[in-house]
Chain A
Amino acid sequence: MGLVVAENITKIYSVVATKVSKDYQVGEIAIRALNGVSFEIEPASFVSFVGPSGSGKTTLLNLIGCLDKPTEGKLEVAGTDVLHLDRKQSAKFRGENIGFIFQDFNLIPVLTVYENIEYPLIMVQNVVSAERKRRVMTLLEAVGMADQKDKYPDQISGGQKQRVAIARALVTNPKLVLADEPTANLDHKTAFMVLESMKKMRNEFQTTFIFSTHDQKIVGEAEIIYSLQPLLSHLGLYLFCSLFLSQVLLRT
């Protein structure tokens, strides 16, 4: 766990970001997606990153989820400085510490609900059969999908898919779960139900949940809200696009 020492009190954080920036290279032009973001997230928090499109929510979740690396700054996730992890170490770290919930659910279509949840226990953590069954059934009960366990993803609704995705994210007992726009493809009623499920899981398993959204109606469900603003103003965006297009045209 990440340790931040302040006034002789040891505090454990799920995520500690210090002046984290991220640039994307487009041709010869570097585009800054995040600029010096700093925050701390405590364990078992229910945190939301909000902001309009292009504000860097997904970028930030990708950095926390070790799917990408910051260009500048320091980032500790579950007590590990993730900046220096190589490809294999990142994969191992994700498998042991992080659960993912995707906007499009990303369930494996050829596996049943049960098998989708079981997958990380076989391919990522090598858990023995009896323990696998116990954990999968516990989570299926917890998300209310036990009676649907033999169905394939295309046989269940969007809300049910996302509940399966929540169960899959939690089955490895991760320290934090990252959800990028988990309700974007769901209607409001289902979106609230999914968020309720996530909250219930947080309470039950004491896992940190971090999700991103641009939907103001569900932001209120989060206990801690971090707001992100786009780095480029409309005028700046106009100037940047003009510059980029002129460069492309000059080259061609």
Chain B
Amino acid sequence: MMIGQMTDSMLGHLQVHRKGYLASIDNLPLNMNLRLPSYKKLEGILNQQPEIEAYSPRIKFGGMFSTFVETTNIRLNGVYPDRELKTVPLLPSRVTNGGGKPLEKGEIWIPELMSKSMKVNIGDTVVVIATNKDGSVNGKQFKVSGILESITGPGGRDGYIHIEDAMEVLRMEEMEVSEVAIRLKDFGRLQSFSNKLEGILSGELTKQGKPMFEVHTWEKLSPFYNIARMIDLMALFIKLMLIAIVLISIMNVMIMAVYERIREIGTIAAIGTLPGKILSLFVMEGFSLGLLGVISGNILGLIIIAVINFSKITFSFGRQTGLILSAKVTPMDMLVVSLIVIVISMIASLQPAFKASRMEPIKALRHV
């Protein structure tokens, strides 16, 4: 859900920049933008990729934001609104105020924080002043037409204007592009497409013979990816701990089962049960315990998931509040965990089972 929120309302699935842009993305360097010929070349390549659903060129820049009373700095994205919406379709859902109208020329969407701190509302007139790459300063008046909810991640607190307005503010004679955000038809094929696109774009070289473009998936662009990785790692450790608990519990149960039944083992061994059969009896008991645990655990787990989803529990993540906790487990996860539990149960029962099968009937029968 959070990944979808980031990719579909801000980052896109992957982005293409001029080589080296990402290393200095914090400064939003205008001199690292893709020039028009490079962008046209990139556009030609992207248009030929059937996996791409949409892509959106962006001009990113930093400037001053003035309400005529107060002034602060702002990071802005100049976009073609229609193409941006196709690439990041959840962007309008972040516009908390604005009546759902698309961004027009001469209009600006500003971050919620700025709206609150500067007391700027829909319909207010503001001025954006920016320095272009040659150092000359220019300003333009905008009408605020949307307040954007902030979200975690890069660009989560940026404002939006029309790309032609951005060109005007930056006094660009021809279009230059900071980044191209891409949306794929199938998010599942992100990695393979990223590799493919990287392969294609690596053939595009500058006059100096250096690569012209760089491709980054959302994972490389978002710090959330590292957090998600950390959570995955923690989940893995929890799984390992659970496996250890299952192993120890079953082994404990089986050791006690053997200890408590020494006389019974002696009896069945005395009446001719072969050691191999005694071994298999106890391994089967371990298997049955595991199977029973898996069945009851899966049923209980599914009930808990259903209860959580039914209760619509909300939580906060960063500045976002009211996120609905949506618990789910994939059939593959259930299958893998079930198999692990059953195998571990059988492994845990092996030692006690082996001990039972090696027991001398005469000694076992004497056991009190």
Contact = CB atoms under 8 A, between A and B. Distances in A.
A141 B217 CA distance: 79
B270 A99 contact: no
Given A88-B275, A91-B275, A102-B365, A108 B270 contact: no
Interface in B231-249: none
B274 interface: yes
12 contacts: A67-B361, A67-B362, A95-B273, A96-B272, A98-B272, A100-B267, A108-B264, A108-B267, A108-B268, A123-B273, A124-B272, A168-B271
Interface string B254-275: 0000000001101111111111
Smallest CB-CB A-B distances: 9 pairs:
A95-B272, A106-B267, A94-B272, A124-B272, A67-B362, A123-B273, A91-B274, A100-B270, A67-B361
A124 B273 contact: yes
B43 to A, nearest CB: 76
B251 to A, nearest CB: 21
A207 interface: no
A225 B348 CA distance: 50
Nearest to B269: A91
A98 B361 CA distance: 14
B329 to A, nearest CB: 35
B277 interface: yes
B267 A124 contact: no
A65 B270 contact: yes
B361 A99 contact: no
B365 A92 contact: no
Contact of A120 (B263, B271, B275, B365): B271
Nearest to A123: B273
Interface string B265-289: 0111111111101000100000000
Contacts of B269: 91
Interface of A: 62, 65, 67-68, 87-88, 91-96, 98-100, 102, 104, 106, 108-109, 119-120, 123-124, 168-169, 172
Contact of A68 (B271, B273, B362): B362
A100 B275 contact: no
Interface residues on B, range: 10 to 19
A75 B251 CA distance: 41
Contacts of B275: 87-88, 91
A102 B266 CA distance: 11
Contacts of A124: 271-274
Contacts of A99: 271
A123 B361 contact: no
Contacts of A94: 270-272
- Among B266, B270, B273, B275, the one with the most A-chain Cβ atoms within 10 Å of its Cβ is B270
Contact of A123 (B277, B362, B365): B277
A8 B174 CA distance: 125
A123 B268 CA distance: 9
A95 B271 contact: yes
- Among A91, A99, A108, the one with the most B-chain Cβ atoms within 10 Å of its Cβ is A91
Interface in B328-368: 361-362, 365
A22 B351 CA distance: 32
A226 to B, nearest CB: 21
- Among B263, B264, B281, B365, the one with the most A-chain Cβ atoms within 10 Å of its Cβ is B365
A67 B270 contact: yes
B272 A102 contact: no
Contacts of A93: 272
A91 B273 CA distance: 6
A106 B263 contact: yes
A181 to B, nearest CB: 12
B149 to A, nearest CB: 63
Given A98-B272, A102-B267, 12 more contacts: A65-B270, A68-B362, A87-B275, A88-B275, A91-B275, A96-B272, A100-B267, A108-B268, A123-B281, A124-B272, A169-B271, A172-B271
Contacts of A119: 268, 271
Contacts of B266: 106
